[in-house]
Amino acid sequence: MQNAPINRLKAVLAEQQKTSKWLANQLAKSETTVSRWCRNEVQPPIEMMLKIAEILKIDIKELLNSTK
């Protein structure tokens, strides 16, 4: 497992009061896959991050943790 979380998917979903199950349905992905993304076990492809940002109506940068 990585030292620092790369994506903020779990936090953004919480801020918008949405669940990983809801997002999985929107993306036609399994709940397990989205859950692993939320826990930063694996990272979604950049194309999927763009689609997630579009669905959540946010800038893709909001899905990523800052490197600074």
Residue 25 lies in a domain: yes
Closest CA to 31 of 22, 41, 44: 22
Mean pLDDT, the chain, rounded, equals 94
Residue 65 lies in a domain: no
pLDDT band at 18 (very low <50, low <70, confident <90, very high): very high
pLDDT for 43 beyond 50: yes
Q: Is the pTM of this model over 0.85?
A: yes
Residue 14 lies in a domain: yes
Please give the residue range of the domain that contains residue 52.
9-60
Q: How many domains does the chain have?
A: 1
- In this structure, what CATH number is given to the domain that contains residue 35? 1.10.260.40
Residue 48 lies in a domain: yes
Residue 67 lies in a domain: no
